[in-house]
Amino acid sequence: MFNRREFMKRTGDGMILLGGLSFLPSCGGIKRADLAEEIGSAEPLKGLGREEMEILHLASLAPSGHNTQPWTVKVVEPGHWVIGSEEKRWLPAVDPENRELFLSIGAFLENLLIAAGSFGYRAGMEILARNPKDREIANLRLKKGKMEPFPLEKMRKRRTVRSNLLPGEIKGEDLKFVTRHELRPFLSMPLSGGHSFYFPQNSPQGKYLREGTVEANRKQAFRHPAQEELANWIRWSNRDAENHRNGLTPESMEIGGFAGWYVRNFYDRHSVLSKSFHDQTVDLAAKQAKSGAGWLVVTSPDSSIPTLLEYGRVFENMLLKIRERKIAVHPMTQMLEEEPWKKQTAKELGLTGEVQWILRIGYLKSYPDPVSLRMPVSRFVQGS
């Protein structure tokens, strides 16, 4: 056996991180299926029945930045919940105004609403948050009502795909299908007038988004607070992944095979802060930005709290559809997190309103199963 330094000399940091050896067989990284929560056998929580626990588990399959899973649920009484967020799971370095956090909570609410309807519950909600730092976000009440069936397997199968997006342009009928949002009544207002815009890779807008994404990644990769924050959310080892059940694992970052084995056993948070890791991050972003059919940009009229929750729902609504058309969307958010792009992007693209999502989009030959971990319901539910 040789030590880490000797191994690095023989293989090279970049080859490991970028999956240069990923053609080798998988070496035992933990995936979601390995830690699947068995609701039927879980200890019941005060104020929650089996159906409510299943609803909350399905809600928690929503996406979030760095997979922080920032949501909390306070059970006031049976059927009366306060949806909030946990400050320890905020991302102040890349999301100082909690814009992305509220989008994530909106995606959580979309899953919750759909799952509740499938179990025969009707939901009513009042928004509590008045500023981005409020931890209590929404007051929610469930009442028995008409059952609204939904294929819940779509929630269980949803995943973010970063690799192997094909270059062929998105067909018009597929684009119309994934961007048509039919949200169930929930908030007190109808869907506000946002839009989705598709820019092929070879269009001037596609070039702007491709180049801007790489440069914004470069700036963020060398911004120390952002990298410190990222380092705190990568679960390199299987032990950390199993203990936390959140954050980014090698599997969710699509580092497979021997490369995955290596980073699980030799990388730690200090590796993320090294110059070589920063360089590799930018190289990987450049490789990703060039692949796929192009970009999908989603705008909204404003970034108020109700709008952000609404557009989190819009995003999740899209994600629950795309698998059946073998389409992947990969959020690449750095242009919305770094100056000067976050103030200039809408204008440069000729769009009105505010950009909420920049998504790399493309077809896949086959859709992989989800691997990102999820915390058990007991970790984000609080008693009254």
DSSP string, 113-126: HHHHHHTTEEEEEE
Q: Where are the alpha helices (DSSP H) in 120-203?
A: 153-157, 172-179
180 and 291, same domain (yes or no): yes
User: Per the domain annotation, does 27 fall within a domain?
Assistant: no
H or E element, residue 136: strand 136-144
Is the N-terminal amide bond of 301 cis, ω within 30° of 0?
no
212 and 280, same domain (yes or no): yes
220 and 145, same domain (yes or no): no
Structure token digits, residue 223: 């911004």
The three-state secondary structure class of 356 is strand
| pLDDT tens for the 384 residues of the chain, in order | 444 444 444 444 444 454 444 444 445 788 898 887 666 556 778 899 999 999 999 999 999 999 999 999 999 999 999 999 999 999 999 999 999 999 999 999 999 999 999 999 999 999 999 999 999 999 999 999 999 999 999 999 999 999 999 999 999 999 999 998 766 655 434 444 558 999 999 999 999 999 999 999 999 999 999 999 999 999 999 999 999 999 999 999 999 888 999 999 999 999 999 999 999 999 999 999 999 999 999 999 999 999 999 999 999 999 999 999 999 999 999 999 999 999 999 999 999 999 999 999 999 999 999 999 999 999 999 876
* Predicted pLDDT of residue 19: 46
User: Per the domain annotation, does 369 fall within a domain?
Assistant: no
CA end-to-end span of the chain: 54
How many distinct helices (H) and strands (E) make up the chain?
15, 9
SS (H, E, C) 63-96: CCHHHCCCEEEEEEECCEEEEEECHHHCCCCCCC
46 and 175, same domain (yes or no): no
Torsion of CA 230, 236, 240, 244, to 10 degrees: 40
Strand order in the sheet with 294-300: 195-200, 294-300, 354-363, 327-331
95 and 214, same domain (yes or no): no
Look at residues 268, 276, 273, 271 and name the one whose alpha carbon lies nearest to residue 224.
Answer: 273
Question: What is the reported pTM?
Answer: 0.92
User: Per the domain annotation, does 330 fall within a domain?
Assistant: yes
* Predicted pLDDT of residue 20: 43
* Predicted pLDDT of residue 67: 98
* Predicted pLDDT of residue 343: 94
Look at residues 333, 285, 282, 277 and name the one whose alpha carbon lies nearest to residue 64.
Answer: 333
Q: Which structural domain, as residue segments, surrounds residue 290?
A: 4-18+160-363
Fill in the DSSP letter of residue 163: S
User: Per the domain annotation, does 25 fall within a domain?
Assistant: no
Q: Check which CATH number belongs to the domain holding 107 and give it.
A: 3.40.109.10
Decide if 238 contacts 28 (C-beta within 8 A): yes
Look at residues 130, 167, 180 and name the one whose alpha carbon lies nearest to residue 363.
Answer: 167
* Predicted pLDDT of residue 184: 61
* Predicted pLDDT of residue 185: 55
109 and 167, same domain (yes or no): no
In whole angstroms, give the CA distance from residue 313 to residue 284: 29
* Predicted pLDDT of residue 195: 84
* Predicted pLDDT of residue 43: 74
Rounded to whole angstroms, what are the CA distances from 279 to 13, 19, 175, 221, 273? Answer: 10, 15, 34, 8, 11
Domain count, the chain: 2
Structure token digits, residue 200: 């092929």
136 and 106, same domain (yes or no): yes
